[in-house]
Structure 1
Amino acid sequence: MKNYTNELEKLFTLIESYSKTSIKLYKYTTVYKSANILSSLSVKFVLALLFLFFFFFLNIGIAIYLGEYLHKIYYGFFIVAGFYILIALLFLVFKDALIKTPVCNFIISATLNTDHNDSHEIE
């Protein structure tokens, strides 16, 4: 009878150890995936910001050029502003297809990514 008790104690110890290890693994996997998502979004944010600066100055140049062509500088700015209000209205109408769905898909695919070729993945 003592042999069974000893074996049961070993089994419970192994189960407890396995449970703790599994919880740590899930925790580390969650932290890794969260960090991966945040770092990807950070890179996209910086690139978008640089792209925004580029377009800002490009649009000022276009507005001045159009203004000089029309002999009133502010006409060029009104034309560029009108162009952007049209684009804003299009984004408002198609926001789910253009922004919400791709961002959701990115987050879901990054969360559920099981690529084993990634050298940083926890094994």
Structure 2
Amino acid sequence: MAGDHVTNVGDGDFNQEVLESSKPVLVDFWATWCAPCRAIAPSIDALASQYGDQVKFTKLNIDDNQDTPQQYGIRSIPTLLVFKGGKVVEQIVGAVPKSRIEDAIKKAL
């Protein structure tokens, strides 16, 4: 379900892809059955096209990967975490407008 500029990540490659990234990373914690997750997907894809050279965009399916969401206390989806230097700098829970996601990205730059 990831777009052209969005990478799927999992428990196995989360450290390498997210925590060790040289640029900020947005992680979309989602599941296939989650309607709000599907609702914000076009916004994330659009922002990934726009900011893809400055920010890495990733998706993590919580049904297929349960360790990472548990580690970060993900209780509801969609949850978006923005990482910078391996640390969470922003958290967004729920289906929010594209502008709210963009604000979080701009803060991390």
Which TM class, normalised by the smaller chain length?
A: under 0.3
Name the structure with the higher helix share.
1
Name the structure with the higher strand share.
2
Q: Which has the higher contact order (CA 8 A, sep 6+)?
A: 2
* Bigger CA radius of gyration: 1
